[in-house]
Amino acid sequence: MTGAGNLYAAYGRQQGRAQRMSEGDFRQLVDEARSRHNLSDIIGRHTTLKKRGGRELVGLCPFHQEKSPSFEVNDAKGTYHCWGCGEGGDAIRFLIHREGMTFREAIEALTGDQFPDVSQEERAQRKAADAADMSRRLQLARTIWSSTVPLAGTVGETYARSRGITIDLGPNVRFAMTPRWYNHETGETGRNHPAVVCGLQDVTGAIVGVQCIFLKRDGSGKFEATREDGSKAKAKLTFGIIVGSALRLGPASSHIVMCEGPEDGWTLRQELRDKAVWVPCGTALLSRVVLPSHVRSITLAGDNNEAGRVAVSQAGDAYLSQGVVVNDAFPDARFKDWNDQLRGITA
């Protein structure tokens, strides 16, 4: 069955309905649950964390076996990330993925008395630091976005065509020559590289973040480089306010199709011409998009691997709890993701 066929079939497999909590009440409930505790107190039950720098802690990853610590926790942001296996998220995702809780059980645990509370003074300090950090990140994202030009006629278009994309991707996918890194203390930046720049919109529709897909100079593929330690540099980097935002492709609609990465989003937009496709640009972010009130149902179009199916399951729990109707779809079993299916590249 084609990708479009899989998705259209999925529309009939509704997983449930519930009375929808207002968006404001739901976000307040979730935000308060996350902010009540230091994430390190929750994760510290599973691994030993040591301070590194002003705001980060590091330890051995509780999701995979490793000898050198690559697992980072940031209490100020309330997030964790493993540079070894790619696992990342917040307190809710950790409780779901590591302790096997449902979304509702994770919220109940965070609003209960299982973990030490953060003091009001510490919350105020964290709020001030987060506000300053968010303002800086937002300004950087908008600076990058302001430097973009339409994709047509650039090596960004060459890259899109190399991924089997023939349609116009719309105003939220553009091209720029832009640095891969910024030093916010000194103002120093790296040299410019070609990049497809995806504009990420918040619940109001404003561009608040960007994901840059850095490319080879001729656009024939993604950027490739090896660091001094032998690890490969990332081709995709995000800047700005990422959590809660998404790349929006297609018309406004009460039903959206949501997937993890831009190339899959481009593919689904091409195959489902009349559907709205949203891309939160990250597996861990699939469950965290803040939805406008007009969105009533979602099809979660996942990757064909364990991480993809876990992400879809967690996102389904999150959106169902808001009263949104949820169903899911996956590529044919022979293919890892939707873009591979489009190009006929088997796993």
| 143 SS3 class | helix
Pick the more confident residue, 77 or 225.
225
Domain boundaries, the chain: 1-26+246-347, 37-117, 136-240
The residue count for the chain: 347
11 and 312 Cβ atoms separated by less than 8 Å: no
CATH no. for 37-117: 3.90.580.10
Residues 281 and 303: their CA atoms lie apart, in Å, by 13
What is this structure's pTM? 0.73
**Is the pLDDT at 59 greater than 90, yes or no?**
yes
pLDDT category at 340 given cuts 50, 70, 90 is very high
**Is the pLDDT at 140 greater than 80, yes or no?**
yes
pLDDT category at 21 given cuts 50, 70, 90 is low
**For the chain, what is the mean pLDDT?**
87
The proportion of the chain whose per-residue pLDDT surpasses 90, expressed as a percent, equals 56
Residues 47 and 126: their CA atoms lie apart, in Å, by 24
Instruction: Write the pLDDT tens digit of every residue in 191-221.
Output: 999 999 999 999 999 999 999 999 999 999 9
CA 65 to chain centre: 24
- Residue 212 structure tokens: 């840059």
Crossing angle for the helix pair 23-35 and 103-111, nearest 10 degrees? 60
Nearest to 297 by CA among 27, 6, 14: 14
Q: Which residues contact 342 (CB under 8 A, 6 or more apart)?
A: 3, 163, 164, 267, 270, 271
Query: What average pLDDT does the segment 99-128 reach?
Result: 82
Fold of 1-26+246-347: Dna Topoisomerase Vi A Subunit; Chain: A, domain 2 (3.40.1360)
| 120 SS3 class | helix
Instruction: Write the pLDDT tens digit of every residue in 273-309.
Output: 999 999 998 887 888 899 999 999 999 999 999 888 9
Q: Spelled out in words, what is the top-level CATH class assigned to the domain 136-240?
A: alpha beta
Asked whether the domain spanning 37-117 has the same topology as the one spanning 1-26+246-347, the reply is no
Residues 295 and 239: their CA atoms lie apart, in Å, by 26
Query: What average pLDDT does the segment 334-338 reach?
Result: 96
pLDDT score, position 156? 98
